[in-house]
Amino acid sequence: MKGERTAIIGVGLLGGSLGLALKRRHGARVVGWNHRASSRRKASKLMSVAPTLPAALEGAKTVVLCAHSGSIASFLKGILPLLSPKTLLLDVSSVKGEIVREASRVPGAKDHFVPCHPMAGKEKSGPSYADPDLYRGRIVFLTPLKGSSRDLVQRASHFWRSVGAVPLVLTAGTHDRLVAMTSHLPHLLSGALMNLYSSRAKTQPLLGSAVGTGFRDMTRIAGGSPSMWTDIMRMNSKEVLSLLFAYRRTLGKLEKELRKGTSGRWKTFFEKARSGRESLR
Amino acid sequence: MKGERTAIIGVGLLGGSLGLALKRRHGARVVGWNHRASSRRKASKLMSVAPTLPAALEGAKTVVLCAHSGSIASFLKGILPLLSPKTLLLDVSSVKGEIVREASRVPGAKDHFVPCHPMAGKEKSGPSYADPDLYRGRIVFLTPLKGSSRDLVQRASHFWRSVGAVPLVLTAGTHDRLVAMTSHLPHLLSGALMNLYSSRAKTQPLLGSAVGTGFRDMTRIAGGSPSMWTDIMRMNSKEVLSLLFAYRRTLGKLEKELRKGTSGRWKTFFEKARSGRESLR
């Protein structure tokens, strides 16, 4: 991969971190591009930045689209005609079903594009938080389009291994179901908790003094990018909805337990939670 | 406070950390005691341990009850008759309303006992996790009994300052309302999320590979002590119930948004959550 050119379209936290990881580990040439001039200026602190999108794509063996889930499909249509025949195109967005469906309808997409989702991130966004170790040891889900060659998918896997990540191929449907449970539902719950706190804080001036590490842990992800999470809720609504329904039903049962005011089933509930937590890898 | 004797009844995470903090900072004499012989052996790695409860209390200027919320009242009745006239008695448990109500009915309690709740802890319990810095910079809520002298409450405040904590006096009712929002509801939500995950993991073998830092953050507190949290849910059921009801109603609204499958109000929801999170102290 040494000397090969990689274009990063959208140099934020994920794109910036990827650029730093590639530069550091392989001496690869990395070129970034952002839509807005102000973002291009920020990006230029991390990597060389092309003045135009076609200039960024010029001669790139690998192009990584680091945009939110909602804009991947339209980006794809704009970028595909500009790629060399052998260029590998990846993304890093959080929802895969809708992207795979839309990309499958774009002629030629299967010859370039391997949809990807690295399980890496922070609650902070922007290139100033970029970290060359962001991907190290992290799972990256690959949800290839129907008809993509095995070679293309292997190149995608190889790319992620080169920045220390662990590629894992599965269907877009399975992917969306998994991350709805481990990421999208938790994000929604965290946001709702944060908003309930804010509404109570208006009339309870001492509330801030009762905030400890537990509350901070529970609301850390509520600090994520609103536009990114809006895309995710729209694009993975079915899976999130099914889990939210199940979760809310559980809360309804716990409400009944609280109403009784006895110890009831709490011990079993918390024991199950603790042993579940301890068995997380 | 140098040379003064402090007795710690219940040397677990909180009691053990307190003992380490006192010993390190003031050369004070600290004596611990646990109900079970096996726990006394563990505690003896941190501090000198008395063979019996009366021996531990003998000559103590301050006695700190480090037991779960549910056992404070009965402990109180057993310990009060053994105290010297000037001994200060504190606890560190998480629910204060019921404890204040019960203690108020115990003759002489107001002359010794100042109910306390330090906003300090870890999801791990036991003296092996003890940390002399556990209380540094942390708020400790004091909810004095009716009729306690100002001097007694000031001694309690002074005690907490001596281990680096920040004492704050309020009513037990206000305390229970605050921590229901910042600690008890979040704990219940975290446990319910962990249990939903576990039930899904049975049929989704890849679920563990989709667990990232966000999910870990959201479920960290689910690892807490089941018996402690069972006490808390029973003893603060009214406040937790009222918040759980409000939270569940919010989730119902979000379910409707998801059902529409549009971007709808998500942006506002997540923007509010982010700005709330950023304004936490």
* Substitution target from A14, A182, A239 for chain B, most B beta carbons within 10 A: A182
Task: Give first-to-last CA distance, chain A, whole Å.
Answer: 32
pLDDT digits (tens, 9 = 90+) for B12-43: 999 999 999 998 876 689 999 999 888 889 99
Mean pLDDT value across chain B: 94
pLDDT digits (tens, 9 = 90+) for B161-196: 999 999 999 999 999 999 999 999 999 999 999 999
Distance from CA of A210 to the nearest CA of B (A): 6
Q: Determine contact: B138 vs chain A, CB below 8 A.
A: yes
Q: B240 vs A233: CB contact, 8 Å cut-off?
A: no
pLDDT digits (tens, 9 = 90+) for A186-233: 999 999 999 999 999 999 999 999 999 999 999 999 988 899 999 999
Neighbours of B149 (CB within 10 A): 11
Kindly provide the b/e burial profile for residues A14-31, where b requires at least 16 CB atoms within 10 angstroms of the residue's own CB.
bbbbbbbbbbeebebbbb
Give residue A182's pLDDT: 98
**Nearest by CB to A258, which of B207, B241, B278?**
B241
Q: pLDDT over 70 for what percent of chain B?
A: 98
Dihedral (C-alpha) A142, A144, A149, A153: value to the nearest 10 degrees? -10
Token pair of A41, please? 């200026």
Which residues on chain B are in Cβ contact (under 8 Å) with A259? Answer: 237, 241
Q: Rounded to the nearest 5 degrees, what angle is found at the Cα of B229, between the Cα atoms of B226 and B233?
A: 135
Give residue A125's pLDDT: 80
Which residues on chain B are in Cβ contact (under 8 Å) with A140? Answer: none
Distance from C-alpha of B69 to C-alpha of B98, rounded to nearest angstrom: 9
Q: Which of residues 244-263 of A touch B (CB under 8 A)?
A: 244-248, 250-252, 254-255, 257-259, 261-263
Distance from C-alpha of B121 to C-alpha of B129, rounded to nearest angstrom: 10
Residue type, B40: R
Give the H/E segment covering residue A239.
Answer: helix A237-260
Q: A226 vs B271: CB contact, 8 Å cut-off?
A: yes
Cβ-based neighbours of B102, under 8 Å, separated by 6 or more: B72, B73, B76
> E-assigned strands of A46-188?
48-49, 62-65, 88-91, 113-114, 116-118, 139-142, 166-169
Token pair of A20, please? 């730093």
Q: Determine contact: B126 vs chain A, CB below 8 A.
A: no
Rounded mean pLDDT of B102-115? 96
Distance from C-alpha of B240 to C-alpha of B245, rounded to nearest angstrom: 8
Q: B254 vs A276: CB contact, 8 Å cut-off?
A: no
Give residue B93's pLDDT: 94
Give residue A24's pLDDT: 83
Q: Which residue of B has its CA nearest to A256?
A: B241
Q: Determine contact: B95 vs chain A, CB below 8 A.
A: no
Give residue B123's pLDDT: 72
Residue type, A125: S
Distance from C-alpha of A53 to C-alpha of B41, rounded to nearest angstrom: 68
Q: Determine contact: B276 vs chain A, CB below 8 A.
A: yes
Question: 3-class SS at A134?
Answer: coil
Q: A170 vs B222: CB contact, 8 Å cut-off?
A: no
**Nearest by CB to A178, which of B138, B174, B206?**
B206
Give residue B2's pLDDT: 58
Distance from C-alpha of B124 to C-alpha of A240, rounded to nearest angstrom: 31
Task: List Cβ<8 Å contacts ≥24 apart for B145-150.
Answer: B145/B100, B145/B103, B145/B104, B145/B109, B145/B110, B145/B113, B145/B114, B145/B115, B146/B104, B146/B110, B147/B110, B148/B110, B148/B111, B148/B113, B148/B114, B149/B111
Question: 3-class SS at A90?
Answer: strand
Q: Determine contact: A273 vs chain B, CB below 8 A.
A: yes
Tell me the whole-structure pTM to 2 decimals.
0.93
Distance from C-alpha of A5 to C-alpha of A63, rounded to nearest angstrom: 9
Q: Determine contact: B219 vs chain A, CB below 8 A.
A: yes
Q: Which residue of B has its CA nearest to A138?
A: B212
Domains of chain B: 5-170 (3.40.50.720), 174-278 (1.10.3660.10)
Give residue A124's pLDDT: 78
Q: Determine contact: B203 vs chain A, CB below 8 A.
A: no
Which residues on chain B are in Cβ contact (under 8 Å) with A207? Answer: 178, 181-182
Backbone conformation region of residue A84, classed left if phi is above 0, alpha if psi is from -120 to 50, else beta: beta
Could you tell me how many helices (H) and strands (E) chain A has, helices first? 12, 9
Q: Which residue of B has its CA nearest to A228?
A: B267
The DSSP bridge partners found for residue A166 are A139
pLDDT one digit per residue (tens) for chain A, 281 residues: 557 899 999 999 999 999 999 988 766 899 999 998 888 999 999 999 999 999 999 999 999 999 988 999 999 999 999 999 999 999 999 999 999 999 999 999 999 999 999 999 877 788 889 999 999 999 999 999 999 999 999 999 999 999 999 999 999 999 999 999 999 999 999 999 999 999 999 999 999 999 999 999 999 999 888 999 999 999 999 999 999 999 999 999 999 999 998 888 999 999 999 999 999 96
Rounded mean pLDDT of B155-161? 97
Distance from C-alpha of B126 to C-alpha of B274, rounded to nearest angstrom: 35
Give residue A62's pLDDT: 97
Q: B192 vs A251: CB contact, 8 Å cut-off?
A: yes
Q: A233 vs B257: CB contact, 8 Å cut-off?
A: yes
Q: A211 vs B274: CB contact, 8 Å cut-off?
A: no
Q: What is the C-alpha radius of gyration for chain B, rounded to an integer number of angstroms? A: 21
Nearest to B21 by CA among B72, B85, B79, B92: B92
Which residues on chain A are in Cβ contact (under 8 Å) with B183? Answer: 210, 212, 214-215
Q: Determine contact: B194 vs chain A, CB below 8 A.
A: yes
Rounded mean pLDDT of B41-55? 93
Q: How much is the ipTM here?
A: 0.93
Q: A177 vs B204: CB contact, 8 Å cut-off?
A: yes
Task: Note whether A146 and A173 are within 8 A (CB).
Answer: no
